[in-house]
Structure 1
Amino acid sequence: MGVNSEFPTFREVADEAHSAVAGLPLETLKTLGILQSVENYYLIGTYPPLKAMGTVEPMDFLPQATDSCNIYLHIPFCEQRCTFCHFAKEILPREQRVERYLRALYRDLAVVSEATGHPYAATVYFGGGTPSYLNARQITEVFHRLRSAIGFTSEAETTFELHPSVIDAPDYEERLDAIADAGVNRWVFGVQSMEDRILAKLNRGHTAAHVHRLLGMLDARGVDNLSVDLIFGLPYQTLENWYTSLRDLISAGVTKFNIFPLMFKQADPISAHYRKNPKIFPGNRERLLMHFATEVIMKSLGFRRGPLFYYAKGEQHSRQQENKFDSIEDVNLLPFGVSGFGYVGHTQYYNQCTIDSYISAVERDQPPVWRGIKLDLEERMRRSVMFTLRSGGIRRDDFQQRYRVDPIDRFGAELAPFIENGLLEVSDTDISVTDQGAPFADSIAIELASSVVRERIRSTNHLIIDLKHDPLDRFDFSPIERDPVGAAVSPLPDAPDVA
């Protein structure tokens, strides 16, 4: 199906998606070990993962930050607990709690910017939690403090996440004004689905009507750079209502998406829902159909796939995500706030992952670094292959220039099974995932994890007793050597159904 201006019919999309799935060498994928189960699927967030990290001295690496950095700020407050979310957050905190956290965040900005030599921001990203939980005064103050510590201009991509229910707040107009006045030029909000039954099951606190109203409000304000998050693999989701969600949002004018599969963590309520009633969740085949249906729709309408799984229509994808995947050694990632993870001076690290420990560290004027690991040349090369495969592909000349070896010469034997089975393709200039290989890019990347890193993770796994509360498991955003949700490791009580 070529590029056209008309939305393809459900039958057209379904037929092409079924054809794509039928063409997958599923038995071979199982043999290769990259056909992950639904309950074990996870994207690679960091490498090496948290469980491979240990104690590090912040001043050994923070002064090595690049002059320009990607900046991430975490606002860990929400009005409800979404059943699938495993990021650091508190629900409906008291105002004094919010203010104390913000004071710690301001001190974090001052302490770490001093330690890193006051870099300027290539990109800024406010995530959570729910950044739009803050009131207008707090939003304005956060940006003022950020600009005082980190230099950035109006040209820097500045992203702010909103929850669709922000429009229910009495002061929502003031909040939207404050976000716009602060110079935000990329607005993101988590929609996840346009099916109200699914949203209720997820305890999202909004409906499809909220999404349409917010889209209209932002359009009236002249917002022209907006991205929507969607998840496939959700309870009660079908190929047809997935198609409908995409159609509704694209028809409403959305031109940028971050689309990803549902991922489970042992401590999340949705994991208990899955153990209790897995039949209401799409299986592996249905999830693959949803992925390929997305590809059919996006390609037919002229969208371009960027870092997996970002889609944009004739415009740039998230610059921060592209930098994190493709050029993190040239433009480091600097996190502020609880649970943020960063990459500075060849060191992958995490900030403190509980609000109390984060506040305690910063109130002692210490960088709030919790754990980290310095990558040697071997691990840097492996990390580069993992993340660039999930983005625009490995540029062989760039890799050769940085690491003094061609990636095929170094990793050709490890990549060969995926090349031979049509999941990766190699040219004189690049190594990239094929359309067939795209849904398995993270599974392929897992195979590049070193034996040293795997052994460190396994050693940590043996020390974890309480999967529900141990932060090493809760905040380890990696599929490497992890136990599936269904594993009898530390059974959790069933969570009550939300809907």
Structure 2
Amino acid sequence: MINLPIAAYLHIPFCRRRCFYCDFPISVVGDRLRGDQSGMIRQYVDAICQEIAATPVLGPALQTVFFGGGTPSLLSPNQLDRILQTLDRRFGIAATAEISIEMDPASFDRSQAIATRQLGFNRVSIGAQAFQDGLLERCGRTHRRADIDRAVADLRAAGFENLSLDLISGLPEQTLADWQASLEAAIALEPTHLSAYDLVLEPETVFGKRYQPGDRPLPADEQTAVMYRLAHRTLEAAGFEHYEISNYARSGFQCRHNRVYWQDQSFYGFGVGATSALQGQRFGRPRRRADYFIWLETPGAIAAACAPVTSDPADALAETLMLGLRLAEGLDWTALEQPFGAEILRSLQPVIQRYQQAGWLQWQGDRLSLTQPEGMLFSNQVLASLFERLEAIATV
């Protein structure tokens, strides 16, 4: 569905080292280089500003901006400010915009936290991942439990009210007691938002090469399912709303930027490996910096990434289902009739009825949603069946 872009994602591909579970497009800079000290980072800031300035303006002022990575907090305040100013000059940033940045707990001090807040950032996502030093070390993380506590204190002192913490379940040698302790420690820091992700073994990562799914020391699938249910029960009891498969928020603090993705809205993407969704086209930029720089200098490349295209209806519906069913409120089924047609929606009813009977899908008026927590836990199975049905229809 084509709509006007109201959000921008900026990929900052620099980390001190690569975590053992990470397959994101990043460049490792080591423990000493950062921001203005690094020619590599300075060159990249020039490039991403060039891309922003050359991108067609296709919508109103931005309502959300998200600096992800990588470790955006390795950039200096001046570099962050330069990117923000370039965005504002090109597209405009609404006065009420949510402006988020991912920050590694060991990558900044209080003075940098204050400077970041003064630039206009009003939401921080902290990559805590776990509260056990041994688990953090086994994941290749540079920070420890004390760094998480200090980072939150520094961000609070800087005036940040909207703080999110990331946690990962299913880590090697992680026990149910570890996971419970991490959930309780995270709650004690009083964030407004929590993301609880299950470890995914990507083939080219250290973990992907070291472990096979289901093998020890990874927790068994049954154990990770217990961890998922435990997170749901513990966080909801603490006053968090389970509003998306992996995300929980206090009232009024759902991530506005991520909701743009899940509601299948348009957004700009900038930088290495970033994806944009503009005028019906999803476009992923090159994942290597050298290739990104070449792409950036290729005549017509940026315009082509923003050109309108017409998607196959079955593919477009699959995308809408995959994104919209992640949200607790699910999808307004009647609103899908106009863009996709009633016939294709009726053809999905046997699959929907099967998972209603299993207790994984539910109707709430005209809205179809996954049940909590079981439907969300088995969402991949539900979506795979819906996709298979759509593929069968498309080949008839």
Same fold (TM over 0.5): yes
Does the Cα contact within 8 Å between 2:110 and 2:155 map onto a contact in 1? Answer: no
Does the Cα contact within 8 Å between 1:264 and 1:270 map onto a contact in 2? Answer: yes
Alpha-carbon distance in 1 for matches of 2:301, 2:122: 29
Rate the CA distance shift 1:118–1:68 in 2: closer, same or farther, 3 A.
closer
SS in 2 for 1:447: helix
Partner of 1:147: 88
Rate the CA distance shift 1:407–1:198 in 2: closer, same or farther, 3 A.
farther
Rate the CA distance shift 1:370–1:273 in 2: closer, same or farther, 3 A.
farther
Output the amino acid matched with 2:293: I
> Which residue of 198, 211, 217 maps to 1:274?
211
Alpha-carbon distance in 2 for matches of 1:159, 1:340: 16
**1:180 equivalent in alignment to 2:123:** no
Report percent identity of matched pairs.
24
Partner of 2:330: 393
Alpha-carbon distance in 2 for matches of 1:289, 1:128: 30
C-alpha deviation, 1:406, in angstroms? 7.7
Alpha-carbon distance in 1 for matches of 2:164, 2:286: 29
Partner of 1:339: 273
Q: CA RMSD of the aligned region, Å? A: 2.5
**1:359 equivalent in alignment to 2:297:** no
Please identify, of 401-410 and 129-138, the stretch whose mean Cα deviation from structure 2 is larger.
Answer: 401-410
Does the Cα contact within 8 Å between 1:139 and 1:175 map onto a contact in 2? Answer: no
Deviation track 1:35-61 (CA, whole Å, cap 9, x = no partner) reads: xxxxxxxxxxxxxxxxxxxxxxxxxxx
Output the amino acid matched with 1:96: G
Alpha-carbon distance in 2 for matches of 1:414, 1:344: 31
**1:380 equivalent in alignment to 2:316:** yes
- 1:120-139 counterparts in 2 under 5 A? 120-139=61-80
Give the length in aligned residue pairs. Answer: 382
- 1:187-336 counterparts in 2 under 5 A? 187-275=124-212, 278-328=215-265, 332-336=266-270
- TM superposition score normalised by structure 1: 0.72
Rate the CA distance shift 1:152–1:65 in 2: closer, same or farther, 3 A.
farther
Alpha-carbon distance in 2 for matches of 1:276, 1:445: 21
Does the Cα contact within 8 Å between 1:83 and 1:202 map onto a contact in 2? Answer: yes
Output the amino acid matched with 1:204: R
Does the Cα contact within 8 Å between 1:228 and 1:256 map onto a contact in 2? Answer: yes
SS in 2 for 1:353: coil
Alpha-carbon distance in 2 for matches of 1:410, 1:427: 20
Output the amino acid matched with 2:284: Y
Partner of 1:109: 52
Output the amino acid matched with 2:188: S
Alpha-carbon distance in 2 for matches of 1:251, 1:154: 32
Rate the CA distance shift 1:370–1:97 in 2: closer, same or farther, 3 A.
farther
**1:74 equivalent in alignment to 2:15:** no
> Which residue of 40, 57, 60 maps to 1:97?
40
C-alpha deviation, 1:68, in angstroms? 3.7
Please identify, of 442-451 and 318-327, the stretch whose mean Cα deviation from structure 2 is larger.
Answer: 442-451
Does the Cα contact within 8 Å between 1:352 and 1:370 map onto a contact in 2? Answer: no
- Structure 2 alignment gaps of length 5 or more: none
Deviation track 1:315-359 (CA, whole Å, cap 9, x = no partner) reads: 23111111211241xxx0210001011211222221122111111
Does the Cα contact within 8 Å between 1:341 and 1:348 map onto a contact in 2? Answer: yes
SS in 2 for 1:380: helix
Does the Cα contact within 8 Å between 1:346 and 1:374 map onto a contact in 2? Answer: yes
- TM superposition score normalised by structure 2: 0.89
Alpha-carbon distance in 1 for matches of 2:119, 2:111: 12
Output the amino acid matched with 2:346: D
C-alpha deviation, 1:427, in angstroms? 3.7
Output the amino acid matched with 1:77: F
- Structure 1 alignment gaps of length 5 or more: 1-63, 455-499
